[in-house]
Amino acid sequence: MTLTLTVSEDVRALAPGFTHVAIEAHGLVNGPSSEASSALLDDAARRLAVRLDGRAPHEDPYMAAWRETYTAFGSKPSRTRNSAEALAKRALSDAGLPRINLLVDLYNAISVAHLIPVGGEDIDRIQGGMRLIRATGEEDFVTVAGGEETVEHPDAGEVVWRDDAGVTCRRWNWRQGPRTRLTERTTSGIFLLESLAPMPVAEVTAAAAELAELLAKLSPGADIAVRAPESSA
């Protein structure tokens, strides 16, 4: 099975320099965070610090491009940061990066090391294909607030990922819903690496190759396929 990923024309018009690379993997083995996954996150934080060389994450030109795009669809990027900037900020703080589970740790490490938004979804929890669209504002986003399940709605014009059941991630890659997130029971996942110009496509491809290699080491028997980059340019 190949999960369908589509990008709407109005999103392409909003961000003509958008590129994404997807990794589809079946037969994965997940589990609690380990010393090995923790070491990957620590190494990613060190790589990030070298890359930024004293700058704040939002001063990086790649993060600046995401901030401009967030502003273009009506979001406030200093309040709702893209996932890579938010993780980078945590990586450089005293608290450091969170440890979630093996699969999430792996893709978070790649996100921080390369300063690229990376997401992971449980394919078995996705209904139909996944679509990147500009919301009408009527779509359902099921999340948890105060320990209880609640339904939110994106702003009209907001860029969201959705499937047939509703929104899976708000504000492009800001906040994932719990329905499709990777858990310790996950065996099939789709990992999405997203970039905007001026990041070269080759850099996104290299990050995807590194993540695919880590997935293969974690789950030697898994069927892992890296899709060719898809660009809006």
pLDDT given for residue 1 in this prediction:
61
How many residues belong to the chain? Answer: 233
- Retrieve residue 77's tokens: 């990027």
- Retrieve residue 196's tokens: 């905007």
Whether 147 shows a pLDDT value over 90: the answer reads: no
Whether 115 shows a pLDDT value over 70: the answer reads: yes
pLDDT tens per residue, range 63-108 = 999 999 999 999 999 999 999 999 999 999 999 999 999 999 999 9
Whether 233 shows a pLDDT value over 60: the answer reads: no
pLDDT given for residue 148 in this prediction:
87
pLDDT given for residue 231 in this prediction:
82
Task: Tell me the C-alpha distance between 202 and 205, whole Å.
Answer: 5
Q: What is the mean pLDDT of residues 174-180?
A: 96
Question: How many percent of the chain have pLDDT more than 70?
Answer: 99
Q: Would you say the C-alpha torsion 161, 18, 16, 69 has a positive or negative sign?
A: positive
Task: Tell me the C-alpha distance between 138 and 60, whole Å.
Answer: 34
Task: Tell me the C-alpha distance between 197 and 229, whole Å.
Answer: 14
Q: What is the mean pLDDT of residues 145-156?
A: 91
